[in-house]
Amino acid sequence: MLTYIVRRLLGIIPMLLGITVLSFLVIKLAPGKPVMLQYSLNPKISLEEIRRLEKLEGFDKPLHIQYLNWLKNLSRFNFGRSFSDGRPVTEKIIERLPVTLAINILSLLFIFAIALPWGIKCALKEGTFFDNASALTMFLLFAAPTFWLALLLMQLFCINLGLLPISGIASLDFEYFPWWKKLWDLGRHMFLPVLVSSLGGFAGVSRYMRSNMIEAMNQPYIYTARAKGLSEATVIYKHALRNAVLPIVTIIGLSIPGLLGGSIIFESIFAIPGIGRLFYEAATMRDLNLIMAEVVLVAILTMLGNLIADIAYAYVDPRIRYGKR
Amino acid sequence: MGSKRLLFGCLIIGIFSLLAIAAPLVSPYDPSSIDQAGLLMPPSARHLLGTDGLGRDLLSRIIYGARISLSIGLIAVGISVAIGLVFGAVSGFYGGLIDSLIMRFVDIMLCFPTFYLILAVTAILGPSIFNIMIIIGLTSWMGTARLIRAEILSLKEREFIQAERAIGASSSRIILRHLIPNAIGPVMVNATLGIAGAILVESGLSFLGLGVQPPTPSWGNILIESKSTLGVAWWITVFPGAAILTTILGFNFIAEGLKKKIG
């Protein structure tokens, strides 16, 4: 197990380098000078001022020097200052990160808490009305744009039924609430964002769980278990389920880019101050330092998610550890 | 089952494509003409799907939006399949160092949540229909590349390819005439799903205001207005979204049908 982990950890070094090179190039090779892009909306800025700013940001140096400087700063978590308000980029990201992580982790928990039992139920009732109806629902959920579902749910819960607040993460008088009311308030605000960001993943995971379970139920060891005279419950929950649920671990890793990408859209719909909305603001303001920092950050988060999922998979399934090199 | 789905999907996409192509003939109004009689009119005989906040006919805007959304989906996927084919074929056929380099590059590309990459590039290049097609294409080829590589790896060892080699055919001939045509089935399925994905990305991007720019209608940017008309004009939220949903369903049906047909 340890050798497997070490091997995987060594493998992320070239990945990290690749991620930084690519993020750097995507932003730098785009036509137009970064400082010009930034200030193109400002009519008052003079040519000398632009030169001065370029020198300050090091944009006058050759590309590889710029990259190495950027990488050096990056290793100290220094992503430079935001063009829009002059604050350090790292500081801006750190204050926004917890909300996004909280929502994404809650969504993941939500997805697995419901999608796994759901998929298993569908597999056990394969071909029945329940299974077919659920297949159709998942197909629809999979095809619907999430932001549209968000709008429809907002219409239903916040306007027609008046049950939930429409945006933000807390009420205005949040600070004066006792702790239980704070929790309730946060819950009410988080409910729709978490629901919306889980819908796509929910459809995917439950279908995946269903097909895994069906496959597991048709394996020879299930016949053996039945032939031994084990109860149906033991056969299903001990023999089939344990094998069917293993590959799901990797799905956690795979669903991270989708969740993070989705954050951009639903955070701006629900006015949630997370890194998704920060990125959206950076993109509309062409705040290059912030854009680069976030692109690198989400790529690294994705990579770590995959790594953790792979290691977890190897931990629960010894075949992976010893199988491939 | 497969052919029924295929037929159903083709029917949906066929209708939308016809509407898109014949937009000037079939749409009841000019998509940018303003009806003085009223803003935010609910669906009626005069405006079948109602009007938007500027008094423009929603049905006409959705029909014209189909042009933009469908063509972005098609062209973006064309680009991504082309890139994926080249990388995947080279990687699978030559193997060795080239293969591992390309596959590491694919791994790295897959680390970037597509939406972040797309938003970053559109922020710099500026949002235009042309840029969006290219950017979606450039960020979505990895699946195709892996698929083609896997297909070619398994085809490469088959007898008819060995025979071709034995009679002295060049690498490019083997790749272009034998390997790619035999591996194209799964790629078609993947590409069909890709069109659906590209349309979803485009609509999300336009919804955020970083995609197709108004006044040009796209399904995503018609929905921008629904944020401010929530609870006032349900038709602005429901119809454009339903158009997206139906189209995506159509492409998904086609993909499922094709998958069953191929086996």
pLDDT tens figures, A147-158: 999 999 888 888
For chain A (325 residues), the mean pLDDT of every run of 10, in chain order, is 84 88 81 58 67 70 83 84 84 90 89 90 90 89 89 86 77 75 82 87 88 90 89 87 82 79 87 90 86 90 86 80 58
Query: Range of B67's domain?
Result: 2-15+58-262
CB atoms B114 and A303 under 8 Å:
no
pLDDT digits (tens, 9 = 90+) for B106-126: 999 988 888 888 888 888 888
Average pLDDT in chain B: 88
- Establish if B52 belongs to a structural domain: no
- B36 part of a folded domain: no
- Is B221 a member of any domain? yes
A295 at interface of B, judged by CB pairs closer than 8 A: yes
Mean pLDDT confidence for B9-35: 88
Residues of chain B whose beta carbon is less than 8 angstroms from a beta carbon of chain A are: 104-105, 107-117, 119-125, 196, 200, 203-204, 207-210, 223, 226-227, 230-231, 234, 237-238, 241, 244-245, 248-249, 252
At residue B257, the 3 state secondary structure works out as: helix
A24 touches chain B (CB under 8 A): no
Measured between CB atoms, does A293 come within 8 Å of chain B? Answer: no
Q: Residue A31: its pLDDT value, please?
A: 63
- Does A82 contact chain B (CB < 8 Å)? no
The number of beta carbons lying within 10 Å of the beta carbon of residue B225 is: 19
Closest-CA distance of chain A to residue B104, Å: 8
> What is the distance in angstroms between the Cα of B64 and the nearest Cα belonging to chain A?
19
Q: Phi first, then psi: what are they for B51, rounded to 5°?
A: -125, 165
In a domain, B126, yes or no: yes
**Cβ contact, residue pair B231, A295, below 8 Å:** no
Instruction: Check B113 against A19: CB less than 8 A apart.
Output: no
DSSP assignments along A142-155, one per residue: HHS-HHHHHHHHII
A30 interfaces chain B, CB cutoff of 8 Å: yes
The reply to whether B187 falls in a domain is yes
CATH number of A98-316: 1.10.3720.10
Give A262's contacts in chain B (Cβ within 8 Å): 115
CATH no. for residue B235? Answer: 1.10.3720.10
Using CB atoms, which residue from A143, A154, A294 is nearest to B249?
A143
Number of H helices, E strands in chain B: 12, 0
Note whether residue B42 is domain-resident. no
The owner of tokens 């509407």 is B19
Whether residue A148 and residue B244 make contact (CB cut-off 8 A), yes or no, is: yes
What's the CA gap between B89 and B59, in Å, rounded?
44
Domain ranges of chain A: 2-75, 98-316
How many domains is chain B built from? 1
Give chain B's end-to-end CA distance (angstroms, integer).
12
Predicted structure pTM score: 0.87
Least Cα distance to A110 among A42, A173, A199, A172 occurs for A199
User: Does the residue B30 lie in any domain?
Assistant: no
Query: Is A143 an 8 Å CB contact of chain B?
Result: yes
Q: Which of B12, B13, B135, B15 is nearest to B75 (CA)?
A: B135
Instruction: Tell me if B25 is assigned to some domain.
Output: no
